[in-house]
Amino acid sequence: MPTAEERRETAEQLALTLSEHGMQRMAARVMAAVIFTEQPTLTQGELAEELAVSTGAVSGAITMLTSVGLVERVPAAGSRRDHYRMRDDAWARLFSRQNEVLEAMVRMGRRGVEVTAEDGCARSRLEEMRDFYEFMLGEFPALIERWHRHREAKLR
């Protein structure tokens, strides 16, 4: 049976991995705490205590995590405090939000192609960028749908 210390160390390793790949450090720590908790929900105060940080630091992280759809605020009967949990299907939601990034890259690729010389080096790089992101944008919806089917099959 894993110890509480092993769980905390692994949660911190996850937080480090998330922050190394672009997530703000405190948001990554809060996300890891939400993932590794055995409680159905956590309050801001509980998160602050678990991470040994201020509630203000946790508040900013929760704002970021809720805005991208990883964490959600949920009602808790008999409590006046906000409770938070990992959102159902959070990873697919986050991945789906990448469509906005892909769409922006497609737009910039198209615009770049419009403003560069037909036979120039920049044009070919921009065409490849545009084509790559158009391809990825076309593939993501099917990938997410396959994930949902896979997940449903596992839950049965």
pLDDT over threshold 90, residue 98: no
CATH class of the domain comprising 4-86 = mainly alpha
Which element (helix H / strand E) includes 88? none
Summarised one tens digit per residue, pLDDT across range 80-92 is 889 999 999 898 8
Q: How confident is the model at residue 99 (pLDDT cuts 50, 70, 90)?
A: confident
Report the pLDDT value the prediction gives residue 48, as an integer from 0 to 100: 97
Summarised one tens digit per residue, pLDDT across range 134-151 is 999 999 889 999 999 999
Q: Mean of the per-residue pLDDT values for the chain?
A: 93
With 0-12 / 13-18 / 19 or more C-beta atoms within 10 angstroms meaning exposed / middle / buried, residue 118 is exposed
How far apart CA 1 and CA 131 sit, in angstroms, is: 50
pTM, to two decimals: 0.78
Report the pLDDT value the prediction gives residue 93, as an integer from 0 to 100: 85
Report the pLDDT value the prediction gives residue 141, as an integer from 0 to 100: 87
Other beta carbons within 10 angstroms of residue 16's beta carbon come to 14
Q: Which residue has the tokens 């939000």?
A: 97
